[in-house]
C-alpha cells in the first residue's frame, strides 16, 4: 500500500502565514499614504546651491522640462523628467543666462537668453539630447521672452539700446523686425498666427495682423501670465506689486477687462487668507476650469501654508484647495495642469507637488 500524499505541512503553513503577515504589514506601512493625504505627491528637483526654479512645463503626463538658474551668466540648467516629475535629470548646462524654455511636444523645444550681451536662441528636436543654435539675425544683448507657435513661426522680445519684436516664418532662417521702442518689452503671447498681445512694464499692446502692427490698449496693464480660450475670451494676471496681484478677464478680445475676484482675505480652516499673497500664475484646462497658484493661509504663530485656487466657471466663483497637508510649503509659484486630473505646482526652491486625481475635494472651500 502506497503512503498517502501529504497535501500540506501544518508547521510550514504556520510559518508561511507568519511571513505573509510580516510582508503585508511592510506593504501597508510603506504605501498607506499612496496617494498621500490631500491627493498630492511631494516631488524634488536637484539642488544646485540654492539656484531658483525659473520655468517649468509638461508636454504630457510623463514628460516635463524645467529651467533652474540665476538671471546672469552663471550656470543655468535645463532638466527633464520622463516619469511625471518623480525624478529629474540634467539634459543641458549653459554657462550663460537662460530666460525661458518652451516645448511644442515631448521632442521639440526652445530656450532663449543672453551670452552675455549677445542674444541667443537654441532648439532641440530629440527631447533635449542635442541642441542647435538658431540664427536670430539679432544684434541685441538679450532675448527676454519668446512665443513659439510652431516649428516655422515664432516671435522674440529683444533687448539692445532699444527694444524689439522680431518674427520668423521659416524656422529662423530669416527674421523681420516688427516693433521698436525705448522701453523694455517684457512678455509676448499669441493666440494664433494673427492675434496676440505683448507688454512693456506697464502697458499692453495687441496685434491682429501677426505683429506687423501693435496697437496700444489704453488704460490696460501689463501681464505676467495670459491665456485665451478663443479670440474673444481670455484672462491675464496683471503685473501689479505683490499686494495687488490681480486676475482679470475679457469677453471682447481685450477691449475691456474686469476683475475675476480671486480671494484675498477672510477666515478659513483655522487661519486667514493672506492679503499680501495673491495669484501669481494660472493654468487653464478649458474655458471653464482654471487653476491658480501663489496664495497662502496664515495660521497662528505666523505659519504659512500654500494654497491653490480653482474655478469651474471661468473665474466667476472660486474654490480654495490646501494641498500642503504635511509638506509645510509656504506658497506655490508655478503651476501647470494638463487635464482635470494631472497637475503640478512648484515653489522657486525646486520643491513641488503633483496630483493624478485633481487633488482632494476634501480640501475645497467655496468662496463667493
Query: Could you tell me which residue, 116 or 159, shows the higher pLDDT?
Result: 159
315 part of a folded domain? yes
181 part of a folded domain? no
Calculate the alpha carbon distances from 259 to 189, 219, 272, 280 in Å: 20, 14, 22, 15
262 part of a folded domain? yes
Domain of residue 327 covers: 231-368
**With 60 as the cut, is the pLDDT of residue 166 above it?**
yes
310 part of a folded domain? yes
146 part of a folded domain? no
- List the one residue out of 147, 145, 105 whose CA is nearest residue 128: 105
Instruction: Give the pLDDT confidence score for residue 278 in this predicted structure.
Output: 75
108 part of a folded domain? no
Query: Could you tell me which residue, 91 or 15, shows the higher pLDDT?
Result: 91
User: Is the distance from CB of 262 to CB of 292 less than 8 angstroms?
Assistant: yes
Mean pLDDT of 64-85: 92
Q: What is the pLDDT of residues 81-127, one digit of tens each?
A: 999 999 999 999 999 999 999 999 999 999 999 887 788 999 999 99
**Coarse DSSP helix, strand, coil percentages of the chain, rounded to the nearest 5 percent:** 10, 45, 50
Q: What is the pLDDT of residues 189-226, one digit of tens each?
A: 999 999 999 999 889 999 999 999 999 999 899 999 99
Q: H or E element: which one contains 11?
A: helix 10-31
258 part of a folded domain? yes
45 part of a folded domain? no
User: Number of folded domains in the chain?
Assistant: 1
Report the number of secondary-structure helices (H) and strands (E) in the chain.
1, 31
Instruction: Give the pLDDT confidence score for residue 297 in this predicted structure.
Output: 84
Amino acid at each position: 500500500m502506497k503512503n498517502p500524499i501529504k497535501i500540506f505541512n501544518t508547521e510550514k503553513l504556520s510559518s508561511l502565514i507568519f511571513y505573509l503577515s510580516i510582508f503585508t504589514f511592510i506593504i501597508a506601512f510603506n504605501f498607506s499614504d499612496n496617494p498621500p493625504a490631500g491627493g498630492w505627491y511631494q516631488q524634488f528637483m536637484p539642488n544646485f546651491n540654492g539656484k531658483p526654479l525659473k520655468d517649468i512645463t509638461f508636454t504630457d503626463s510623463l514628460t516635463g522640462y524645467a529651467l533652474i538658474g540665476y538671471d546672469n551668466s552663471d550656470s543655468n540648467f535645463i532638466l527633464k523628467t520622463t516619469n511625471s516629475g518623480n525624478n529629474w535629470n540634467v539634459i543641458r548646462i549653459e554657462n550663460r543666462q537662460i530666460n525661458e524654455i518652451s516645448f511644442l511636444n515631448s521632442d521639440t523645444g526652445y530656450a532663449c537668453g543672453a551670452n552675455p550681451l549677445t542674444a541667443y536662441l537654441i532648439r532641440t528636436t530629440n527631447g533635449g539630447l542635442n541642441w542647435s543654435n538658431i540664427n536670430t539675425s539679432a544684434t541685441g544683448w538679450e532675448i527676454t521672452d519668446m512665443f513659439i507657435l510652431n516649428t516655422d513661426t515664432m516671435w522674440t522680445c529683444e533687448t539692445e539700446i532699444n527694444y524689439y519684436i522680431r518674427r520668423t516664418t521659416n524656422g529662423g532662417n530669416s527674421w523681420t523686425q516688427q516693433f521698436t521702442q525705448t522701453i523694455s518689452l517684457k512678455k509676448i503671447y499669441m493666440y494664433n498666427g494673427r492675434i496676440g498681445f505683448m507688454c512693456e512694464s506697464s502697458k499692453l499692446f495687441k496685434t491682429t495682423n501677426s505683429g506687423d502692427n501693435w496697437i496700444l490698449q489704453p488704460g490696460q496693464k501689463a501681464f505676467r501670465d495670459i491665456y485665451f480660450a478663443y479670440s474673444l475670451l481670455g484672462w491675464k494676471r496683471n503685473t501689479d506689486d505683490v499686494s495687488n496681484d490681480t486676475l482679470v478677464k475679457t469677453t471682447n478680445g481685450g477691449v475691456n477687462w474686469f476683475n475675476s475676484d480671486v480671494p484675498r482675505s477672510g477666515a478659513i480652516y483655522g487661519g486667514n487668507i493672506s492679503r499680501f499673497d495673491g495669484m501669481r500664475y494660472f493654468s487653464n484646462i478649458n474655458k471653464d476650469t482654471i487653476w491658480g497658484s501663489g496664495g497662502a493661509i496664515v495660521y497662528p504663530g505666523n505659519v504659512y501654508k500654500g494654497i491653490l485656487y480653482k474655478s469651474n466657471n471661468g473665474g466667476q466663483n472660486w474654490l480654495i484647495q490646501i494641498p500642503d497637508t504635511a509638506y509645510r510649503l509656504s506658497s506655490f509659484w508655478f503651476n501647470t495642469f494638463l487635464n482635470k486630473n494631472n497637475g503640478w505646482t512648484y515653489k522657486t526652491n525646486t520643491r513641488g507637488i503633483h496630483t493624478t486625481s485633481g487633488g482632494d475635494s476634501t480640501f475645497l472651500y467655496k468662496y463667493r
